[in-house]
Amino acid sequence: MIRRLVPTAVSLFALPVPPRVAAQATPIAVPAVERIAPDLELSRIIAAVAGSDGRICVLDDLELRLHCLRADGSLLWSFGRKGEGPGEWTSIYRLGIGPNNVVTVLGFGVQVHQVSADGKFLRQARLPGSFGQPGAVIAISPDTFAISGTFHQRGALRPTTIHLFAFVGDSIAHIRSFGALPAHTDPEQLSMLPAGFVSMTARRTFLHARVLPNIVVEYDMAGKLVRKVTSTIVPFDPSKQTLITKSQSRVTYQTVKPPVGSNRIGSAREYRPGSWWVFRTTVGVGQFFDVVDPATNRWLAPKPLPAWEASLGVFAEDRRGGYFLATTTCDDEPCLVRFKSGPYFAGVR
């Protein structure tokens, strides 16, 4: 494999920031960052998840490979190659992993693939529609999964952000959609706008991190609103992050860099029953965990992530090992790292 020195893609989680910590954060003993799987050659990390046994699975969308590692970082198996047949793909974008460690991979737009816990091809099928900007894949059962993002079906945009699907024989059926999209006046820009990250709690509800306003919303599996909390932190307006230039022959989308001091909201995750993390980047300042008690809508003081020289895309917590797992850049190459979670729990409910 030719080794390409390509910056790690962590746009799902955060933006690059200088290695400084904001004075507003609660002082804690910020842990050191430790690289794992240093021998794994990656061209770009587009998504990563952790399994029930501590395994880590990552997508390299340039090499079109899925790698799954043991909890200690040693390689379990690698899967995938370019093509259109079983076990092949032309693009890969997001992945989810079920309790049985079966991996569900979304090829950009329409194709869904499943790979067994031991790295064998299981099945693939086309979605009954397409996604503009998928945010996350959540494996619910061996046959059912959810995808967040802007979903187009029969030429129309569904005005919701969480979409449930099920494998039925050799095809995929749409079950239901729910969860409001952020309001937007330009339908073209809304179509390409990330709808916000979605994760699942221990009691099998969905957490949806929305921007403008900065809200975390919880839904049950049927799509019923359970509760929502709103942060006072003002995020960067996502409608301003893309400059659209139109001509008679084409439409050009250009990413605009947020100004220093603006906030980018990433994922919301449950870290223990009754409390959530909200992952945030303050451009030019640092990266933070904002902690919220959804029962009282009480937001605690933010806690800074380690001041790493590149952005840390936190994607999971290894609770048995006591680590947060993240994607980042090490010596100009995409890599996986971890840092102790213990300091973040001191003094927090």
Which has more confidence, 150 or 5?
Answer: 150
Q: What is the per-residue pLDDT across 229-288, written as a single tens digit (0 to 9) for each?
A: 888 887 777 667 777 788 777 878 777 788 888 888 888 898 877 788 888 889 889 999
- Please check the confidence at residue 12 and state whether its pLDDT lies above 50: no
In a domain, 84, yes or no: yes
Which has more confidence, 251 or 142?
Answer: 142
In a domain, 173, yes or no: yes
In a domain, 293, yes or no: no
In a domain, 63, yes or no: yes
In a domain, 142, yes or no: yes
CATH code for the domain of 183: 2.120.10.30
Q: Of 91-105, 168-182, 239-253, give the lowest mean pLDDT range.
A: 239-253
Which range is most confident: 174-183, 218-227, 337-346?
218-227
* 58 strand-pairing partners: 48, 67
The dihedral built from the CA positions of residue 87, 50, 313 and 190, taken in this order, carries a sign that is positive
Tokens found for residue 347 = 């003094």
* Predicted model pTM: 0.83
Question: Are 279 and 314 in contact, with CB atoms under 8 Å apart?
Answer: yes
What is the pLDDT at residue 127?
95
- Please check the confidence at residue 290 and state whether its pLDDT lies above 70: yes
What is the pLDDT at residue 330?
95
What is the pLDDT at residue 6?
37
Tokens found for residue 247 = 């001509």
CA–CA gap between residue 74 and residue 38 (Å, rounded): 9
What is the pLDDT at residue 188?
60
In a domain, 108, yes or no: yes
Q: If you average pLDDT over residues 304-308, what whole number do you get?
A: 93
Amino acid at 286: G
CA–CA gap between residue 80 and residue 98 (Å, rounded): 19
- Please check the confidence at residue 3 and state whether its pLDDT lies above 50: no
- Please check the confidence at residue 7 and state whether its pLDDT lies above 60: no
Give the residue numbers spanning the domain of 122: 44-195
In a domain, 34, yes or no: no
Residue 342 per-residue DSSP state: H
- Please check the confidence at residue 348 and state whether its pLDDT lies above 50: no
Total domains present in the chain: 1
What is the pLDDT at residue 318?
87
In a domain, 68, yes or no: yes
CA–CA gap between residue 319 and residue 273 (Å, rounded): 13
Tokens found for residue 219 = 């839904």
